[in-house]
Chains A and B, each alone.
Chain A
Amino acid sequence: MRDLSVSRSTPASTLAMAALGAALLVMFAAPWWAGRAELRLFGEIFLYMSLATLWNFLAGYAGLVSVGQQAYVGLGGYMFFAATMFWGLNPLLALPVAALIGAAISAPVAALIFRLRGAYFAIGTWVVAEVFLLTFAQVTSLGGGSGTSLPVGVVKGLSESRDGREALIYWLALGIAVLVVGAVFAFLRSRRGVALTAIRDNELAAKSLGIDIWWTKFTVYVVTAGLTTLVGGLIFLQKLRISPDAAFSVNDWTAVVIFIVVIGGIGTLEGPILGTLVYFALRETLADYGTIYLIALGVVAIAVMLFAPKGLWGLIRGHRGTELFPLSRRVRGLTEKGQ
């Protein structure tokens, strides 16, 4: 007779974590083996992976379906520009400063829009993003409605050579992706994460267990906003130019991100990562078709939502509940006992 034990890792997850470690090493070395265009693409992939993971954390785990995360992407861009241009901060310092400002601003925003429920909450987040857009369009020192470019001095402050700069931006993107996925993973494994899962599964039951739903969701919202602001800062460091329409674009920073998560599999850690890879594969093949590719993406996302609501990852893992990230606790030894 065997003993029962509880553990989170499975042979699949141990293998996956090892493979992930290896992949990270290879990707870390990318500046030495990849060309300039690939490096830029990889950087963009990591930034979208971060945005998708964050949106999934918000919507898939905390049930806060936002269609206004572009508010924080744009805020991050503008705060990064302001911090480097007006306050003379080093770009590497300006990024975390932008993130802190984003988190600080998101707290009163949350207090306000948490008064809206469900889908109305979603549109409320959009209003907030519009307010940010219209506000920054009024700031003439940041170029008003037409936007501004990052001064050469700031860019050079990062690194004198173009190659060095691009490698650094790439490493920042890789680092932020690791940070974001790692932070969400750590949060979900913590006590708070267990509370979050309990709320998702049954809000009423969670309440009766003494879980403070408002605070838990508030924390998730603020953490997500701060990290999204960080990603936004880096996005516009990579672009070197910012304008209100680009910074607060609902298509670029929310629609695409939502489609990525839905197609990959909402409510899992693996889904957004898989979805990002699928999205970029599609984009690189269909980019020449212009608008039709956004239509196709929308159609695919609707089809997935209707016919495979758990996304591609849900299809792959099937009923066995395979997890590459060791997240759920599993009881070992049960099947052996049954035999």
Chain B
Amino acid sequence: MDWINAIIQGALLGGLYALFAAGLSLIFGVMRLVNIAHGDLIVLSAYVALTTSVGLGLNPLLALVIVVPVMAAFGYALQRLILNRTMGDDLLPPLLVTFGLSVIIQNALLMGYSADPQKLQAGPIETASVSLGPITLGVMPVLVFAVAVAVIAGLQWMFYRTALGRAFRATSDRQDIAQLMGLNRAHVFGLAMALSLAVTALAGVFLGIRTSFDPAAGASRLIFGFEAVIIGGLGNLWGTLGGGVILGIAQTLGAKINPGYQILAGHLVFLLILAIRPRGLFPRMDG
């Protein structure tokens, strides 16, 4: 029963990883940009939530009302002012610029908040749980998983059913021809980054409620998100959720064997899948 419990907890943890991954997946899908600063932006969101919830005396879950638009606006500005200048055939500029951004965010947080671990206090909901027979489920992990499913369903709907999604797909297909349709590429990219960071804000707040975080916590969040994307198959949003779940389960099972193996087990499963199914477990049909 312990093992089944570990698998279920791991699957729920996978919801959080899918949230880390969804923003990464979105901007890769629209503009082929891999944002190395993604993990640091998740952590930055957690700090923004910390400051707003402490400053205004809000529950961090309520602080989302502020954090999500703030991060989205930041994403739009970041894309328009900096990242759009790096977009082109050469992949080096966006890579190096987002890498630089990652170092800047990390050290700026270090200056502003020190290296001490912080945590978001969400109150009784953190420890609330429901029992299903012998299995006990935390309310927060279930909530996070449900939000992840909702976010992915929402992104899927947006992509395939709305004018914005059409603009994203057209721009992703052929940037110059999309421009001929009156779509301003710079603006479309800005919107994609805004949306990505809105999801990132959710991920950051949930991360901060679940565990303590510090300015250096971004790197591993980027890596978890990236692993979920690759395990699930590039360009497949539901696959990303599957990838997150597999990663989460690998980690909780690893931790069950030896607490030191938690993260390592996740990486090894990722490398194993890369070795046997390099295009991920759920590759996109048309890709």
The interface of chain A, by Cβ under 8 A from chain B, is 59, 65, 67, 112-113, 115-116, 118-120, 122-124, 126-128, 130-131, 134-135, 137-138, 250-251, 255, 258-259, 262, 266, 291-292, 294-295, 297-299, 301-302, 305-306, 309
Are B111 and A115 in contact, with the CB atoms below 8 A? no
- Give the residues in chain B near A65, CB-CB below 8 Å: 91-92, 95-96
Residues facing A in B59-76 (CB within 8 A) are none
Residues facing A in B99-120 (CB within 8 A) are 99-101, 103-104, 107-108, 110-111
Choose the segment among B169-177, B184-192, B223-231 that binds chain A (4+ C-beta atoms closer than 8 Å): B223-231
B86 within 8 A of A: yes
Q: A122-B95, A298-B101 are in contact. List 9 more A-B contacts (CB 8 A).
A: A65-B96, A67-B99, A123-B222, A123-B223, A123-B226, A134-B260, A298-B107, A306-B86, A306-B97
CB distance from B96 to the nearest CB of A (A): 5
A305-B100 contact, Cβ under 8 Å, with A59-B92, A120-B34, A122-B95: yes
Are A112 and B274 in contact, with the CB atoms below 8 A? yes
Are A119 and B86 in contact, with the CB atoms below 8 A? no
Q: Is the interface of B mostly helix, strand, loop or mixed?
A: helix
A-B contacts counted at CB < 8 A amount to 112
B155 within 8 A of A: no
B271 within 8 A of A: yes
Contact for A116 among B97, B108, B230, B267, CB less than 8 A: B230
- Give the residues in chain A near B226, CB-CB below 8 Å: 120, 123, 127
25 A-B pairs in the complex with CB atoms less than 8 angstroms apart = A112-B274, A112-B275, A120-B234, A122-B34, A123-B34, A123-B36, A127-B226, A127-B267, A130-B220, A130-B267, A131-B271, A134-B264, A135-B264, A138-B260, A250-B219, A292-B111, A295-B104, A298-B100, A298-B104, A301-B96, A302-B82, A302-B96, A305-B96, A306-B82, A306-B85
The 8 closest A-B pairs by CB, nearest first: A119-B34, A115-B278, A298-B104, A134-B264, A298-B100, A302-B100, A298-B103, A118-B91
